[in-house]
Protein backbone atom coordinates (compact mmCIF):
# COMPACT_ATOMS: atom_id res chain seq x y z
CA UNK A 1 0.00 0.00 0.00
CA UNK A 2 1.29 3.47 -0.89
CA UNK A 3 0.51 6.58 1.07
CA UNK A 4 0.95 10.03 -0.40
CA UNK A 5 1.91 12.53 2.32
CA UNK A 6 -0.27 15.21 0.75
CA UNK A 7 -3.24 12.94 -0.01
CA UNK A 8 -3.40 10.36 2.78
CA UNK A 9 -5.87 8.11 0.95
CA UNK A 10 -4.30 4.62 0.93
CA UNK A 11 -3.59 3.30 -2.54
CA UNK A 12 -2.53 -0.28 -3.32
CA UNK A 13 1.10 -0.68 -4.36
CA UNK A 14 2.23 -2.30 -7.59
CA UNK A 15 1.73 -6.01 -8.20
CA UNK A 16 4.73 -8.01 -6.93
CA UNK A 17 4.63 -10.34 -9.94
CA UNK A 18 4.77 -7.37 -12.34
CA UNK A 19 7.73 -5.91 -10.42
CA UNK A 20 9.54 -9.25 -10.71
CA UNK A 21 8.75 -9.40 -14.43
CA UNK A 22 10.19 -5.91 -15.00
CA UNK A 23 13.34 -6.78 -13.03
CA UNK A 24 13.81 -9.93 -15.13
CA UNK A 25 13.39 -7.93 -18.35
CA UNK A 26 15.99 -5.38 -17.17
CA UNK A 27 18.46 -8.19 -16.40
CA UNK A 28 17.85 -9.79 -19.79
CA UNK A 29 17.96 -6.57 -21.83
CA UNK A 30 21.01 -5.18 -20.02
CA UNK A 31 22.70 -8.61 -20.00
CA UNK A 32 23.41 -8.63 -16.26
CA UNK A 33 23.18 -11.52 -13.82
CA UNK A 34 21.69 -11.78 -10.35
CA UNK A 35 24.71 -10.06 -8.78
CA UNK A 36 23.61 -6.71 -10.27
CA UNK A 37 21.15 -4.80 -8.11
CA UNK A 38 17.92 -3.95 -9.94
CA UNK A 39 15.33 -1.81 -8.15
CA UNK A 40 11.90 -1.07 -9.60
CA UNK A 41 9.60 1.38 -7.82
CA UNK A 42 6.37 3.17 -8.54
CA UNK A 43 6.64 6.79 -7.51
CA UNK A 44 4.02 9.46 -6.97
CA UNK A 45 4.81 12.81 -8.53
CA UNK A 46 3.27 16.03 -7.22
CA UNK A 47 4.66 18.17 -10.07
CA UNK A 48 1.81 19.11 -12.46
CA UNK A 49 4.15 18.52 -15.43
CA UNK A 50 4.63 14.82 -14.68
CA UNK A 51 2.23 11.88 -14.50
CA UNK A 52 0.52 10.96 -11.22
CA UNK A 53 2.57 7.75 -11.10
CA UNK A 54 5.80 6.82 -12.80
CA UNK A 55 7.97 3.73 -12.81
CA UNK A 56 11.52 4.27 -11.65
CA UNK A 57 14.28 1.73 -12.35
CA UNK A 58 17.76 1.71 -10.85
CA UNK A 59 20.49 -0.65 -12.05
CA UNK A 60 23.64 -0.85 -9.94
CA UNK A 61 26.59 -2.58 -11.53
CA UNK A 62 29.26 -1.60 -9.01
CA UNK A 63 29.46 0.38 -5.77
CA UNK A 64 28.51 3.99 -6.42
CA UNK A 65 27.89 3.29 -10.12
CA UNK A 66 24.31 3.10 -11.22
CA UNK A 67 21.96 3.92 -14.05
CA UNK A 68 18.46 5.25 -13.55
CA UNK A 69 15.53 5.04 -15.91
CA UNK A 70 11.99 6.32 -15.65
CA UNK A 71 8.83 5.48 -17.50
CA UNK A 72 5.95 7.95 -17.20
CA UNK A 73 3.27 5.41 -16.34
CA UNK A 74 2.35 3.09 -13.46
CA UNK A 75 4.13 -0.27 -13.11
CA UNK A 76 0.99 -2.16 -14.19
CA UNK A 77 0.98 -0.38 -17.56
CA UNK A 78 4.68 -0.77 -18.42
CA UNK A 79 5.31 -2.97 -21.44
CA UNK A 80 8.51 -4.56 -22.64
CA UNK A 81 8.61 -1.99 -25.46
CA UNK A 82 8.40 0.84 -22.87
CA UNK A 83 11.31 -0.70 -21.03
CA UNK A 84 13.42 -1.05 -24.19
CA UNK A 85 12.76 2.62 -24.98
CA UNK A 86 13.70 3.74 -21.45
CA UNK A 87 16.87 1.64 -21.36
CA UNK A 88 18.17 3.41 -24.47
CA UNK A 89 18.18 6.73 -22.56
CA UNK A 90 19.75 6.05 -19.14
CA UNK A 91 20.96 8.79 -16.81
CA UNK A 92 24.39 7.83 -15.47
CA UNK A 93 25.34 8.82 -11.90
Longest dimension (CA), the chain: 40
For the stretch 73-85, pLDDT in tens is: 999 999 999 999 9
For the stretch 9-56, pLDDT in tens is: 666 788 899 999 999 999 999 999 888 999 999 998 777 777 788 999
How high is the pLDDT of residue 18?
Answer: 96
The arithmetic mean of pLDDT across residues 50-78, rounded, is 89
pTM of the model: 0.78
SS3 state at 54: strand
The alpha-helical segments, DSSP class H, found in 7-91 are: 16-30, 80-87
How high is the pLDDT of residue 19?
Answer: 96
How high is the pLDDT of residue 6?
Answer: 54
Per CATH, is 16-92 categorized as 3.40.50?
no
How high is the pLDDT of residue 91?
Answer: 61
**Domain boundary assignment for the chain:** 16-92
How high is the pLDDT of residue 2?
Answer: 46
Amino acid sequence: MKINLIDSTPRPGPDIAKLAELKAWVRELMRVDDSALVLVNELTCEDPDCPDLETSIVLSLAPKEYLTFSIPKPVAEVTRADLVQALTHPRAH
